[in-house]
Amino acid sequence: MKLVVIGFGQCGGRIADEFARLNGRARMYRRIEIVTGAFAVNTDAADLTGLSTIRSDFKHRILIGGRKTGGHGVGKINELGAEIAKEDSDKIIDAIRITPRFLESDAFLLVASAAGGTGSGSLPIMTQLIKERYADKPVYDLIILPFEHEENTEERTIYNAATCLKSANSVADAVILVDNQRYIRKDSSIRNNMARINALIVEPFYNLLCAGEEKKRKHIGAKVLDAGDILQTIAGWTVIGYGKSILPLIRPFRQTQHFRKKSADTHKGIQAMDEALSELSLTCNPRDANRALYLLSAPAKEMNMDLVKELGDYLRDIAPKAIIRNGDYPRQKGALDVTVILSELDSVEKVKNYYRNSTDVIEVFKKKQEELDYKLKDIDDAAKDIPSLL
């Protein structure tokens, strides 16, 4: 599956940069192209300068709203971010249009943080505009939810997240949710934490995108998980997870038919599936999923029908009402990987909490503004008898 990836705001731009790096990895080690175009869109020039992999020309690092922001961002005001995106949307559309391999793309992936101003404001606007212009290609939104400390200390964060999620869900073909808090490492520096989190967010997409683009016969699965399967699975609220079990590179003096080896191999697969489900990008109840998908990637000799059946039965038990698609990808060396997608979730508690809390935040904003207006009026009244020099 090939994607056009567009990141909005600082967070979205860095994750788009990570997708560009992932594409470089696929091209170098697998001779596969999985990202036909990677773009970063921002109102802040410094954030665009901080990227490392996305090409540095103005068609790939796109500065919008220069006249209104002077290249210094929108200060968390996502209404301003949305307004600027509407005005400068032609810059983004023009960059997409001239991408050399754009016609090979299967879908768009738009990325942003729900908490910021530029990202949360421009993401829904551009999702709608791109869908109108390219109706034959699905548009998926990858939305990064804020850290807990941001929610607790910045009321604007909750409001931005709620408005972004509601707006994006109304126009996108699917919204892939990622909770930043699930990836945080408290003993690491801010720079290392962010880089690590971005890498963990992107990693589950690697085998998933590569599986259907393989050209070498020995790496083609018995049941290929292609773009069509992914497109038919991803819809509405969606989460993604990834798990890995390490396999011994050499198995000396072991009988390949021994019952203990077969049991151990199955256990490794279940272990990887467990990790994928425990490391889902957002805490949710798998029973709420109406569609699901899993991809098994391991050396060809390590995969068998019993293992595939066990993984399918496991996912069926925890997501009983989901339509499940699966595939195998004989690629990894020394590891057994499982990628899981749960989609069309009919209940997401985290999203509902944002919606509920944002109504309280709006009331707080109104009260604060009324108090401020009253105090300013009191100051003006105190100065009414003093002559002005203007």
pLDDT digits (tens, 9 = 90+) for 288-335: 999 999 999 988 888 888 888 899 999 999 999 999 999 999 987 788
Helices and strands, number each (H, E), in the chain: 14, 10
Spatial contact of 64 and 85, defined as CB atoms under 8 Å apart: yes
- The average pLDDT across 100-120 equals 93
| CA pair distance 163, 79, nearest whole angstrom | 10
Average pLDDT over residues 72-92: 91
| Integer angstrom CA distances of residue 80 from 75, 89, 120, 128, 190 | 9, 14, 10, 17, 28
How high is the mean pLDDT of the chain?
Answer: 88
Instruction: Inform me whether the pLDDT recorded for 200 exceeds 60.
Output: yes
* Better-predicted residue by pLDDT, 31 or 191: 31
Residue range(s) in the chain whose domain bears CATH number 3.30.1330.20: 232-343
Alpha helices in the chain (DSSP H): 9-30, 45-49, 66-69, 78-87, 89-97, 118-133, 148-153, 155-171, 190-202, 205-210, 227-233, 259-278, 305-318, 349-382
Residue 179 has pLDDT above 90, yes or no: yes
Which of residues 250 and 64 earns the better pLDDT score? 64
- Beta carbons of 42 and 107 less than 8 angstroms apart: no
Nearest to 16 by CA among 8, 25, 7, 24: 7
Check residue 144 and give its pLDDT: 95
pLDDT band at 235 (very low <50, low <70, confident <90, very high): very high
pLDDT given at position 186: 47
pLDDT tens across 345-357, in order? 999 999 999 998 8
Q: Given the DSSP bridges, would you call strands 291-297 and 335-343 parallel, antiparallel or unpaired? A: antiparallel
Residue that is written with structure tokens 């009331």 in the block: 363
- In the chain, what percentage of residues exceed pLDDT 90? 62
Look at residue 191 in the predicted model and tell me its pLDDT: 62
Q: CA angle, corner 289, sides to 288 and 291, nearest 5?
A: 160
Among 135-144, 162-171, 209-218, whose mean pLDDT is lowest?
Answer: 209-218
Helix-helix angle 118-133:89-97, to 10 degrees: 50
How many degrees, rounded to 5, is the angle at CA 224 between CA 32 and CA 339?
80
Report the distance separating Cα 223 and Cα 326, nearest Å: 8
Contact status, residue 79 vs residue 85, Cβ threshold 8 Å? no
Domain 3-202 has what CATH class? alpha beta
What's the pLDDT at 253?
47
**Which two tokens mark 229?**
């399967």
Identify the CA nearest to 108 among candidates 212, 5, 236, 237: 5
**Residue 172 vs residue 269, higher pLDDT:** 172
Confidence of residue 370 (pLDDT cuts 50, 70, 90): low
* Bridge partner residues of 5 (DSSP): 38, 109
Distance CA 72, CA 70 (A): 6
Question: What pairs with residue 335 in β-bridges?
Answer: 246
Higher pLDDT, 66 or 354: 354
Least confident of 32-41, 325-334, 375-384: 375-384
Query: Is residue 119 scored above 90 in pLDDT?
Result: yes
Both structure tokens of 147: 């850290």
| Residue 189 pLDDT greater than 70, yes or no | no
Q: Which amino acid is at 197?
A: I
Structure tokens at 224: 């290929």
Average pLDDT over residues 35-58: 93
CATH 3.40.50.1440 location in the chain: 3-202
3-state secondary structure of 136: coil
What superfamily would CATH give domain 232-343?
A: Tubulin/FtsZ, C-terminal domain (3.30.1330.20)
Residues 180-188, mean pLDDT to the nearest whole number: 69
CB atoms within 10 A of CB 324: 15
Which tokens hold the place of 168? 């994006």
